[in-house]
């Protein structure tokens, strides 16, 4: 809540102002001003106010504007206590009905009593809207816009009210008129204003005493003959001193002049005509409720409670969503950092991985290339074993060859699908003493499943050592059979 350092009162004859600083729960007076208002056009009043405030060293910023009792209509209302949210609307309706006000013609605010009762006993006040607009315009032009606008009598009440419930009467002659206030505990029971002459101090005092007698008479009826514990006079000492004896006679109660307050440090300034302004600043500083015409209490919608619960639920959901979003965002960022670290590591390891597989494929290719190694000596030994021991068949020539077709490596296949195709060829040139011997030799090779046998034709009688020449051509049984090899380190 904003705490205001400046309080201003724009009276019909005087401008009053005070600036303070905050000292704990109290105030320290920094500068004051009480200036008589000259007769001038209303258009230049704002410039005159600004010049005086600047010359007095008043800080700029929002101010608390005080309104005198004779500028407002005050009523005490006793209303059956409805829902607290509907109380502002009921007060507004009751005041407009009683004062015959049209909508928008006045600004209405109220102050509930501090004592809780079954019904709502409260102090209501109505200020003409034109007065509010005029005050706002002048103070805005003076570079001290209105922050709050309240009754000066509430400032007096905040200074002298008895928190223990005592009845205090106050005669405030510090303004351009007199204000008579009756307090019961912390609450204002009666407030009346009266005009004062502009003559000498003794004339003003006499006029104030006459008005006090009238007020006291009416109070005896209105306040049901309440016992007044103390009377407090506020104002210039030249006026209040002559009133002391007369007020004791009128009220038969102790009478004092307000000159100090435990929460206000005057710092050498004369504040005898500024107590009401200091009281308003102190009440605002301490967070006490005030009537505020610049921001009157507004009626609460009948479904306001449900709306508040809905807003609270929406707020909880919003906070929950924010927490979930924050947690999710944190998790995403964490996972992104992990992914970045993995990608960095992958970028470092990928060349090694590719080099490993390149070497692996090379090794597989070499293994397949060298896997085709026919055992020619073994084949030749088999051929020798099949010769006739009697010398009926002799070998003239043996020719061996390997038909190698290379490694077949499909692009989409793995190493285990690589293959090599090769065909071993063996040509035997022999001579036999008869066709039967040659045919027997050939039959041995036909029965051997390791070879396919081909012949160039019938055996002829053209041998050099034996009559019949025999030629046998052997090759691997299946030329499409692939030889495969698994590279070292393969899965």
* pLDDT reading at 114 higher than 80: no
**How does 355-369 read in b/e, with b if 16+ C-beta sit within 10 Å?**
eeeeeeeebbbebbe
Which DSSP helix (H) or strand (E) runs through 339?
helix 304-371
Tens of pLDDT, residues 428-469: 888 888 888 878 888 888 877 777 887 665 555 565 677 777
Regarding the domain delimited by 6-302, which CATH topology (the fold level of the hierarchy) does it fall under? Answer: Nucleotidyltransferase; domain 5 (3.30.420)
What span, in angstroms and rounded, lies between the C-alpha atoms of 267 and 261? 12
> What token pair was written down for 465?
């050592």
- pLDDT of 260 reads 95
Mean per-residue pLDDT over the chain, rounded: 85
pLDDT at 225: 55
User: Taken in order 434, 435, 437, 442, is the CA torsion positive or negative?
Assistant: positive
Average pLDDT (15-24) is: 94
Encode pLDDT of 281-339 as tens digits: 999 999 999 999 999 988 766 666 677 788 899 999 999 999 999 999 999 999 999 99
Fold topology of 376-483: Alpha-Beta Plaits (3.30.70)
Q: What angle do CA 324, 326, 332 make, to 5 degrees?
A: 100
**H or E element at residue 483:** strand 482-483
Q: Most confidently modeled of 97-111, 169-183, 373-387?
A: 169-183
Confidence of residue 403 (pLDDT cuts 50, 70, 90): confident
Among 4-8, 154-158, 213-217, 477-481, the least confident range: 477-481
User: How do beta strands 452-455 and 468-475 pair?
Assistant: antiparallel
Tokens of 120: 């709502």
Contact between 477 and 452 (Cβ < 8 Å): yes
Decide if 416 contacts 387 (C-beta within 8 A): no
Query: Exposed (0-12), middle (13-18) or buried (19+): which is 349, by Cβ within 10 Å?
Result: exposed
* Residue 294 CA: distances (Å) to CA of 18, 86, 237, 450: 20, 20, 33, 116
172 has a pLDDT exceeding 90: yes
Spatial separation of the C-alpha atoms in residues 192 and 221, rounded to whole Å? 14
Single out the residue of 124, 160, 175, 198 nearest to residue 7, CA to CA: 175
| 36-45, 204-213, 383-392: range with highest mean pLDDT | 204-213
Residue 113: predicted pLDDT: 76
Mean pLDDT of the region 100-120: 73
Instruction: Report in angstroms the alpha-carbon separations of 244 from 205, 207, 217.
Output: 10, 14, 18
485: confidence class by pLDDT, cuts 50, 70, 90? very low
- pLDDT tens-digit series, residues 128-151: 999 999 999 999 999 999 999 999
> Confidence band (pLDDT; 50, 70, 90) for 486?
very low
For residues 184 and 226, is the Cβ–Cβ distance under 8 A? Answer: yes
**DSSP E strands: which ranges in 1-134?**
6-10, 14-23, 26-36, 63-67, 73-79, 106-112, 120-128
Asked if the model's pLDDT at residue 414 lies above 60, the reply is yes
The dihedrals phi and psi of 319, each to the nearest 5 degrees, come to -65, -45
Cβ proximity of 396 and 472 under 8 Å: no
| CA contacts within 13 A on the Cβ side of 176 | 18
């Amino acid at each position: 809540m904003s705490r205001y350092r400046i309080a201003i009162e724009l009276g019909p004859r005087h401008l009053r102002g005070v600036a303070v600083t905050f000292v704990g729960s109290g105030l320290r007076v920094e500068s004051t001003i009480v200036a008589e208002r000259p007769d001038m056009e209303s258009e230049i009043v704002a410039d005159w106010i600004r010049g005086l405030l600047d010359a007095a060293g008043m800080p700029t910023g929002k101010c608390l504007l005080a309104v005198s009792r004779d500028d407002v209509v005050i009523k005490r209302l006793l209303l059956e206590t409805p829902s607290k949210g509907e109380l502002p609307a009921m007060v507004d309706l009751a005041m407009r009905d009683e004062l015959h006000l049209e909508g928008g013609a006045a600004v209405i605010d109220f102050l509930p009593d501090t004592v809780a009762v079954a019904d709502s006993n409260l102090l209501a006040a109505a200020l003409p809207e034109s007065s509010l607009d005029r005050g706002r315009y002048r103070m805005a032009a003076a570079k001290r816009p209105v922050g709050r606008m309240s009754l000066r009598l509430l400032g007096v009440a905040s200074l002298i009210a008895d928190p223990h419930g005592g009845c205090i009467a106050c005669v405030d002659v510090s303004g351009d008129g007199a204000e008579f206030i009756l307090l019961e505990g912390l609450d204002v029971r009666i407030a009346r204003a009266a005009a004062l002459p502009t003559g000498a101090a003794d004339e003003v005092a006499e006029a104030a005493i006459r008005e006090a007698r009238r007020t006291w008479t009416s109070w005896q009826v209105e306040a049901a003959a309440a016992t007044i514990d103390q009377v407090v006079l506020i104002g210039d000492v030249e006026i209040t001193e002559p009133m002391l004896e007369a007020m004791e006679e009128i009220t038969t109660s102790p009478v004092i002049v307000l000159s100090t307050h435990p929460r206000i440090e005057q710092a050498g300034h004369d504040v005898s005509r500024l107590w009401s302004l200091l009281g308003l600043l102190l009440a605002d500083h301490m967070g006490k409720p005030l009537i505020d015409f610049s921001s009157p209490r507004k009626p609460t919608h009948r479904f306001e409670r449900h709306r508040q619960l809905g807003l609270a639920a929406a707020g909880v959901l919003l906070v929950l969503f924010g927490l979930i979003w924050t947690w999710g965002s944190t998790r995403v960022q964490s996972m992104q950092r992990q992914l970045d670290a993995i990608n960095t590591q992958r970028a470092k390891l990928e060349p090694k991985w590719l080099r490993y597989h390149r070497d692996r494929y090379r090794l597989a290719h070499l293994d397949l290339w060298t896997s085709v190694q026919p055992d020619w000596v073994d084949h030749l030994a088999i051929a020798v074993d099949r010769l006739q021991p009697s010398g009926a068949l002799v070998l003239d020539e043996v020719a061996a060859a390997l038909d190698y077709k290379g490694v077949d490596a499909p692009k989409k296949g793995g190493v285990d699908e690589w293959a090599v195709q090769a065909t071993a060829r063996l040509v035997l040139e022999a001579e036999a003493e008869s066709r039967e011997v040659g045919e027997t030799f050939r039959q041995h090779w036909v029965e051997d499943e390791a070879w396919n046998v081909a012949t160039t034709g019938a055996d002829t009688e053209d041998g050099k050592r034996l009559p019949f020449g025999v030629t046998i051509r052997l090759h691997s049984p299946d030329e499409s059979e692939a030889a495969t090899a698994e590279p070292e380190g393969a899965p």
